[in-house]
Structure 1
Amino acid sequence: MAKNSTSTTTVPDTAWLGRGRHLGPEPEQDVRRNLIALKAAGVLDDFLELDPVEAARSTVLHPRDESADPGPSARRLFEARWQVADDVTVRAQLTTYDPESRRKDGDGVIWVLAAEAELPWDLEWPSPATMFWPDSERVPWDHDTVRGVRLRTTNHLPKDDDELRHRLRDCTRQSWSLHVVVHEAMTPDAAGQQPVSTFLPPGLRHRVVEHRGTPEQAQIADFAMKRELGVRMPRGGGVVLPVSPQGPEYDAERFTVRSVFLDGSEPTELLDRIMEFAALPRPLPADAERALTRLRQGWHLLTPDEELVHAQGMVTKYAEALDAMTKSCDLYREAAEAAQAALAEATGGDGTVRPAAPGHVKADGSPLSGFTKAFGRFRNPNK
């Protein structure tokens, strides 16, 4: 996959984008089983599995668009369609990729998910991630592309200062997720260890990564975050980290919560700040833009009505192409007949070119002028 970079566009309010790593042995089999189960339960309207090469060749809507090609490292491409809010259609594509390098153990398989609804995304709608991946702790699909970071759980910050700064830098520059850091004023009990993401609405639950600082990490975490990101880590509080590059809408003070009680109760203030941050305009990474373009222009799972419209469009295109070919053949036939007439005129009908008497030939009266006019029709078929 291409290295992640950021474009000047922002994520559309109709889109849901996610990226991560599956560390298990059979990621595609996990997706396949979940899709089959959800379709049988009536959750999905339909789904489709494609080989990436064949998917690029058989793109329905834009067969010549290069953005429909998932790339050489793609393994499988899955499409799914479902309804939310009774009559709002959601279309989604999940593509699995081999990692860029196999040198490190545990790299797993990278996945990219792009979903788009017919209306602006409602956070109460189901998470597209659980339409493809089983919502089970036993299936390790929820690892971020940043090593050592995982969704659906708490991630303790590294103890080493350099490693901590690298973690913060990678999360804000490379990850597609929203990152939150919570400092534990004291070591929480089992209820307090519950991730904050469990209290979030379904549409945001799998887009947030929670980092935890232990009680003794207050100063080192505060120093690293101030140096790398320009934000402070309040003791016993939490902060929503900015993205890179940081937009003008982000206010570090606004997205800092001074106190977060880790006793199993709902951290209302922190949740409000997370959802407020999620609603801000968000830069669209280049990889995410390609995934969204591929979803829009490389879609295969058509409804019967869409198939009818597509077939009618193809009939119109074929009719136009046939008409253009017929006109072209007529033009070539006329040019050939004109060339034969010019040849007959120049040779007198016996195949021998007779030169004109000296001093009596005008520039336009050359025996070859007929050929020039005739074959000029090939160069300018509009004449």
Structure 2
Amino acid sequence: MAKSPTVRATAPGTVWPARGRHLGPGAEDTVRRRLRELKSRAVIQDHLEFDGSGGDDTEAAAVRAFEARWLVADDVVVRARLNVGAPHGNDGAQDWVLMAEADRPWDLEWPSPATVFWPEDADAPWDHDVVPGLRFREINPLPTDDRALRRLLKECARASWSIHVVVHEAMTTDERGLRPLASLLPPGLRHRVVEHRAAPEQFQVVNWALQDLGVRVPRGGAVVLPATPAGPDGDFSVRSVFLDGSVPVELVDTVRRFAESPAPLPEGAEEALTGLREQWHLTTVEEELALARRQVAAYAEALDAMTKSRDLYREAAELAHEALATYRESFGALPAPRQEPRKREGFSLRSLAKPLERVRDGAKLLRAPGAEDHAPDAADAEEPTQDGFPARLPQARDQQWPGPPHRRP
């Protein structure tokens, strides 16, 4: 029986999720240096590092968690956590998950939380998508092999948290057309968008690969790939994109509209958001005091509910006792059922002799009638004792058997 897909929670408008891969080891040291630098420049209020595995899983024991807290728009608090996984693969790559949340809906013009934990160098090895071979701030040409192209696009829609944009080149572009889209996007989208480029001759192949996703890229245009599970409803395609160095205003607006539309949280994002909210460590004195007050209020509410429940139970018990007393006064107490003592049967030898007499009488009936049966010897006949049993059982008479027959001479 097929299982129905799990309905995922809608991403709140206050969160900023991202997921990527750091090629090669040393991700923790890079994050530490970046946080110390921003703390010394007062860009962030505080930061903290701790074991993010919780000590429950051996494989996740190498996960390191980094928290940071800063202000945007002068008074909006942003809390963010970065989880860095253990090295894996031949190159020692490390996956990372970044979840940030603000006190009010996220504005894409705010600085990217990725730049709080990672340096903004162009050659930094952290800005790779979890799908191998893709980067956030560069142009990613689509594979020339048809099957590899199809697998790549399906993997992007299924496993990636990023926003994937496919741009078809109507003609071979010059240097001006090789400007990445990320540099033209608002800061809040530069590290969440992956740009794919399809060559002019790949128009038919790309649309063949996009059939499974239910979208189509116009010739010389662009389309935003839907997420799995189903992302925002609507048309997120652009008919024409001029790759001449100018700002593609329509494409930028489409990507922004897609990012701001309500959509389900990707796989693993709900757990990351729960950990950020329920296991936050960088709290101020005011926040700890407010948390203590909320806990006291919750305990008081629970105690009040228990007290009311106890009073209701007590009132119900009193009413039940009153109803029972009224019933007894009206109808009287019911008499207890009488239990007659059970007679105990005694043992009698006479009761044991009766079956034996019936057995003896049955044996007489089965014996063939003869003179011996009608005239028993006086020696065998004895008077019964006081208990009704004969003094001794009669012995069988010796029977005379004829000898062998004589032969005639």
If asked which structure has higher relative contact order (CA below 8 Å, sep 6+), I would say: 1
197, 200, 213: which one pairs with 1:229?
Answer: 213
Which position in structure 2 is the counterpart of 1:332?
none
SS in 2 for 1:283: coil
The structure with the larger Rg is 2
Q: Distance in 2 between matches of 1:275 and 1:95?
A: 26
Which position in structure 1 is the counterpart of 2:343?
none
42, 52, 65: which one pairs with 1:77?
Answer: 65
The one-letter code of the counterpart of 2:34 is: N
Per-residue deviation, 1:306 = 2.4
Conservation of the 8 A alpha-carbon contact between 1:7 and 1:284? no
CA RMSD across the alignment: 2.6
1:243 paired to 2:227 = yes
The one-letter code of the counterpart of 1:134 is: P
Aligned length: 296
Q: Distance in 2 between matches of 1:194 and 1:34?
A: 28
Q: Distance in 2 between matches of 1:7 and 1:148?
A: 30
Question: 1:171-210 alignment to 2 at 5 Å?
Answer: 171-210=156-195
257, 260, 269: which one pairs with 2:250?
Answer: 269
Which position in structure 2 is the counterpart of 1:118?
103
Conservation of the 8 A alpha-carbon contact between 1:143 and 1:151? yes
1:47 paired to 2:32 = no
| CA distance 1:245–1:117, change in 2 (3 Å) | same
SS in 2 for 1:155: strand
Instruction: State the TM-score, normalizing by the size of structure 1.
Output: 0.72
Conservation of the 8 A alpha-carbon contact between 1:16 and 1:116? yes
Conservation of the 8 A alpha-carbon contact between 1:168 and 1:228? no
Which position in structure 1 is the counterpart of 2:278?
297
Q: Distance in 2 between matches of 1:314 and 1:223?
A: 57
1:212 paired to 2:197 = yes
Conservation of the 8 A alpha-carbon contact between 1:73 and 1:97? no
Paired-residue identity, %: 56
Q: Distance in 2 between matches of 1:207 and 1:74?
A: 26
Q: Distance in 2 between matches of 1:129 and 1:70?
A: 28
Instruction: State the TM-score, normalizing by the size of structure 2.
Output: 0.67
Conservation of the 8 A alpha-carbon contact between 1:70 and 1:294? no
Which position in structure 1 is the counterpart of 2:133?
148
The one-letter code of the counterpart of 2:173 is: P
| CA distance 1:316–1:150, change in 2 (3 Å) | same
CA distances 1:54-93 after superposition (whole Å, capped 9, x unpaired) = xx48xxxxxxxx9xx9982552110000001110000000
Q: Distance in 2 between matches of 1:240 and 1:24?
A: 30
CA distances 1:207-253 after superposition (whole Å, capped 9, x unpaired) = 1111000122112112211x221211222111111112325x423xx
Q: Distance in 2 between matches of 1:157 and 1:238?
A: 14
| CA distance 1:184–1:73, change in 2 (3 Å) | farther
1:34 paired to 2:34 = yes
Which position in structure 2 is the counterpart of 1:93?
81
Q: Which segments of 5 or more consecutive residues in structure 1 lack a partner in the other structure?
A: 58-65, 319-383
Structure with greater strand percent: 1
